[in-house]
Amino acid sequence: MKRCKILEIEIQNLKLSENLVVFEEQKQIPERESRKILSNDEPLIFVGGIPRSGTTLMRAILDAHPNVRCGGETMMIPNFLSWQASWRKSDWANNTGITRKVMDDAVSAFMMEIIAKHGEMADRLCNKDPYTALWLPTLQRLYPNSKFILMIRDARAIIHSMIERKVPVVGYNISDEKQMFRNWNTEIRKMTTQCMMAGGNCLKVYYERLIQRPKDEIERICQFLDIEFDERMLKHEEFIGVEVALSSQEFSASQVKNSINNEPLTSWFDCFDMELLSKLDRLAPFLKLLGYDTESDKPSYDYFASDDFFEFRSVYS
C-alpha cells in the first residue's frame, strides 16, 4: 500500500465523546434481571458481513429504532457456531444420544441467552457479529423466524480500512494484499450464496447505497424486518449513549459516533499499486460481479445511488 491518507487508528487513538457508553471492567456491569429463556421462534435480527463493511453503522441505525436492540458485538457467537459444528462432526456425539435436535435446542438456547442478556431487552432483539454471515443455514435452522442483513462493500475500501486502521481480522494477512483480496472473494462468495439460498430471509445491503441513499435504504430494511420506519434511524449519532450503546472496544466507535457521511467512499483512492488493481478481476472476481467498477482506480459510486439500482442486479448481486 502506498501514498495513503492516514486514517485514524482504531482503539489506541480513540477520542470518545462524553456521551459514549464506555463499558468498564466486566465485574462492574450490573447483572441483567433474570428472565426466562426466550423461545427460538423469536424473530431475531442478525447483521453480518466481512468486517469493515459498515456492520457497526448498520446496527447503530437499528439500535436507534425504539423497538430494536442490537448492542455491541458479543465477539463469541461466530466462534461458538464454529465450535458446535466441530463437535457435531465427532464420533462422540453419535454414541451419546445427543441427536441433532438435542444439540440444536442446546445451541439455540445458549446463544439466545447471550443475545438477550448482554444488553437491554427490546421487542426485536438483534445481534451484530460480522462472521455470523458464514453461518446462515445454521442460524435459519436454529431460529426459523430470524432475518439476516448482509452488508456488502467494495473490497478495496475494506482492505484499505483493515490495513490503515490496523484492524486485525483473522484470515487477512496485512503484509500480503493479494492474499487479502483472494480471501475477501472466498468469504463474500460464501456469504452471498448463503444469503441467496435463504430466500426472503436475507437482505443484501450495499454500504455504498446505504450512505448515499440512507432514507430509501433504511425504509427498505424496515420493510424487510417488518418494523415501522422511525425518523430516529436517520440520526443514530444523537442516540449514542441512550438507545445506541457503543463501547470503546468496538473497532468502529470513532466513526459510528458521526452522522452518516460519504467520506469513507473514496478514502482508499491512490492507496494501491496499479499493478495490483489491474489484477483485481482475477484475484477477486466477485467485486465486478457485485457491480463494482474494477476498470477504474477511482471508480464512481453513483451507480449505487441510482433509482434503478435494484432493477438489473444479477442473481448473485
Active-site residue list: 73
Residue 211 binding ligand PPS, by CB under 6 A: yes
Q: Which residue, 23 or 110, is less far from ligand PPS as judged by CB?
A: 23
Residue number closest to ligand PPS, CB atom:
56
* Closest C-alpha among 184, 77, 225 to residue 139: 77
**The one segment of 49-57, 103-111, 216-224, 292-300 that binds ligand PPS by CB under 6 A:** 49-57
Q: Which residue, 2 or 27, is less far from ligand PPS as judged by CB?
A: 2
Rounded to a whole number of angstroms, the minimum distance from the CB of residue 204 to ligand PPS is 15
Handedness of CA 281, 176, 193, 49 (dihedral sign): negative
Distances in Å between the Cα of 61 and the Cα atoms of 42, 47, 54, 248, 279 are 21, 11, 11, 18, 36
Query: Any idea what DSSP says for residue 268?
Result: T
Handedness of CA 303, 53, 20, 65 (dihedral sign): positive
Rounded to a whole number of angstroms, the minimum distance from the CB of residue 107 to ligand PPS is 24
Q: Which residue, 112 or 250, is less far from ligand PPS as judged by CB?
A: 250
Among 46, 135, 251, 309, binds ligand PPS (CB under 6 A): 251
Rounded to a whole number of angstroms, the minimum distance from the CB of residue 145 to ligand PPS is 25
Please enumerate in sequence order all residues whose Cβ is within 8 A of that of 36, keeping only pairs 6 or more positions apart, or say none: none
**The one segment of 91-99, 157-165, 274-282, 307-315 that binds ligand PPS by CB under 6 A:** 157-165
Please enumerate in sequence order all residues whose Cβ is within 8 A of that of 281, keeping only pairs 6 or more positions apart, or say none: 287, 288, 294
Residue 252 binding ligand PPS, by CB under 6 A: yes
As a whole number of angstroms, the distance between CA 198 and CA 136 comes to 7
Cell numbers that stand for 14 in this block: 480513540
* Closest C-alpha among 112, 107, 132, 136 to residue 43: 112
Rounded to a whole number of angstroms, the minimum distance from the CB of residue 257 to ligand PPS is 8
Please enumerate in sequence order all residues whose Cβ is within 8 A of that of 109, keeping only pairs 6 or more positions apart, or say none: 37, 40
Residue 263-302 contact track with ligand PPS, rule CB under 6 A, x = bound? -x--x-----------------------------------
Residue 119 binding ligand PPS, by CB under 6 A: no
Residue with cell 446496527: 59
Residue 132 binding ligand PPS, by CB under 6 A: no
Residue 245 binding ligand PPS, by CB under 6 A: no
Among 258, 278, 300, 306, binds ligand PPS (CB under 6 A): 258
Q: Which residue, 119 or 264, is less far from ligand PPS as judged by CB?
A: 264
Q: In one letter, which amino acid is 315?
A: V
Q: Which residue, 107 or 268, is less far from ligand PPS as judged by CB?
A: 268
As a whole number of angstroms, the distance between CA 19 and CA 257 comes to 10
Residue 72 binding ligand PPS, by CB under 6 A: no
Residue 306 Ramachandran class (φ > 0 left, ψ -120 to 50 alpha, else beta): beta
Among 40, 55, 74, 185, binds ligand PPS (CB under 6 A): 55
CB 253 within 8 A of CB 16: yes
Handedness of CA 137, 139, 144, 145 (dihedral sign): negative
Residue 116 binding ligand PPS, by CB under 6 A: no
Residue 54 binding ligand PPS, by CB under 6 A: yes
Cell numbers that stand for 150 in this block: 448482509
Residues interacting with ligand PPS, by CB under 6 A? 7, 51-57, 130, 157, 161, 165, 167, 211, 250-252, 255-256, 258-261, 264, 267
